[in-house]
Amino acid sequence: MSGSDNRPMTVSEKIFSKASGTPVKAGDFVLANIDLAMTHDITGPLAVQGFYEIMRDEEDKKVWDPSKIVIIFDHQVPADSINAAQNHIMLRKFAKEQGILNYDVYEGVCHQVLPEKGHVKPGDLIVGSDSHTCAYGSLGAFSTGIGSTDMAAVFATGKLWFRVPETFRFEVEGKLPERVYSKDLILHLIGDVGVEGVRYMAAEYAGSTIRSLSIPERMTMSNMAIEMGGKAGIIEADEVTEAYLKERIPGFKLDPYWKSDEGAKYLDIRYYDVSDLEPQVACPHNVDNVKSVSEVEGTKLDQIFMGSCTNGRFEDIKIMADIMGDEPVAKDLRLLVVPASKTEYMKLLKAGYIEKLVNAGAIVEAPCCGPCMGGSFGLLGPGEVGLATSNRNFKGREGSAESFVYLSSPATAGASALTGEITDPRKV
């Protein structure tokens, strides 16, 4: 099934056609129905305030559909200031009054919790008041970040205006070499096209390499689409997606419609062979300042942050821990490990990895965003150098504006934890 004129469509065009109720093409402006809206403890309060301003003349100040809204506390949890505590109180009250599902301080990072709790399906149009909402594209949804005032409008109406984005397709072939992972791949793509290379486009990842990735690895790819300016980072749903969702959504069955048609129009297509790809590192202070690990080996580190919505899953932390083996964290290095959700934390706990990491000298925190946003704990001081498995390394992102943040895969983080400097994981 394609458009009414039998025109082949990208999966993004199909999703917006469903959401707007009419066949659309890239460049069209549409008023689209939202399938799911997410907000969290940082952006949520302003969205709630805006909602009540929109509804001030309405006798019944109710959101459009409480079953399609989720609130998650993850950025400042447990509350690290009086202001954060007040925000939590306000959002708990709003959720209770409106009948909205609220995942409180114990559950984890929004972009991990929503998929693992079965809130995301292929073909959905999802918005979140957080830029990394594009992570849900790993399951074949069109998901994108919006501002708090736009979220207020969604709370009130369940609709939002969009310009249907063009699609930039990345065709990736070849088997990733040993100790090279999807984080290395996405950093390589960002380094190639630049931070604005896919601005207001849907980044569509395809090819045999992408199909071979697990859902956790796909989440890493989709999560960082925003770092090249993407409106979304989408991967066509397949049997891997179906197996993941069957565990989370009773009776789920994959609809093969939610993929791009043969002959669909793309703004650009780039082809990559990753058979010889080296581990990649994004250097200060931009995510597209990407170099091979061999170019930055030996850079002394003060701290490693292992976690975030990009690489805080069981599989990621296991990679790091397995590379470390039974060796201790390097002297004068701080290793902070923050699982992305309670579910992932419990997997690590039951498998013995948390005990192993603590014994090695790491600090393991409860599930949350942690140092990623630079507003909670584990911040870098002036002049300090950090390596993180997260998604951004702008000035001041993880603490002082005079600190330096490098981004890497969990494997590079694990090797570097042993030496106290950026280290090629293939040499450990």
Which sequence spans correspond to the domains of the chain?
A: 13-163, 167-252+266-273, 281-422
Contact criterion met (CB below 8 Å) for 354 and 364: yes
The whole-number pLDDT of residue 2 equals 44
309 marked as binding residue: yes
Higher pLDDT, 2 or 222: 222
In this prediction, residues 113-137 reach a mean pLDDT of 94
DSSP 8-state code for residue 233 = E
Contact criterion met (CB below 8 Å) for 42 and 236: no
In this prediction, residues 399-424 reach a mean pLDDT of 94
Global pTM? 0.90
Longest C-alpha distance within the chain, in Å?
66
- Taken in order 225, 42, 74, 371, the sign of the CA dihedral is positive
283 marked as binding residue: no
The one-letter amino acid code at 23 reads: P
Neighbours of 386 (CB within 10 A): 26
**Measured distance CA(186)–CA(190) in Å, rounded:** 6
Whether residue 344 is predicted with pLDDT greater than 90 in this model: the reply is yes
Report pLDDT digits (tens) over 393-404. Answer: 887 787 788 899
**Spatial CB neighbours of 95, under 8 Å, sequence gap ≥ 6:** 71, 101, 102
Superfamily of the domain at 281-422: Aconitase, domain 3 (3.30.499.10)
Report how far Cα 407 is from the mean position of its chain's Cα atoms.
14
pLDDT tier, 214 (very low <50, low <70, confident <90, very high otherwise) = very high
DSSP 8-state code for residue 129 = S
Whether residue 3 is predicted with pLDDT greater than 50 in this model: the reply is no
369 marked as binding residue: yes
Question: What does the block give as tokens for 1?
Answer: 């099934």
Upstream peptide bond of 285 is cis (omega within 30 degrees of 0): yes
| Fold adopted by 13-163 | Aconitase; domain 3 (3.30.499)
Upstream peptide bond of 40 is cis (omega within 30 degrees of 0): no
In this prediction, residues 200-225 reach a mean pLDDT of 95
CATH says 167-252+266-273 is which class?
A: alpha beta
Whether residue 1 is predicted with pLDDT greater than 60 in this model: the reply is no
Neighbours of 423 (CB within 10 A): 28
Question: Could you tell me the end-to-end alpha-carbon distance of the chain, in angstroms, rounded to an integer?
Answer: 51
Question: What does the block give as tokens for 410?
Answer: 């969990």
Contact criterion met (CB below 8 Å) for 132 and 114: no
Locate tokens 């594009």: which residue?
134
Domains 13-163 and 167-252+266-273 share a fold: no
DSSP 8-state code for residue 57 = T
Question: What does the block give as tokens for 166?
Answer: 């063009």
The size of the chain, in residues, is 428
Contact criterion met (CB below 8 Å) for 400 and 382: yes
**How high is the mean pLDDT of the chain?**
93
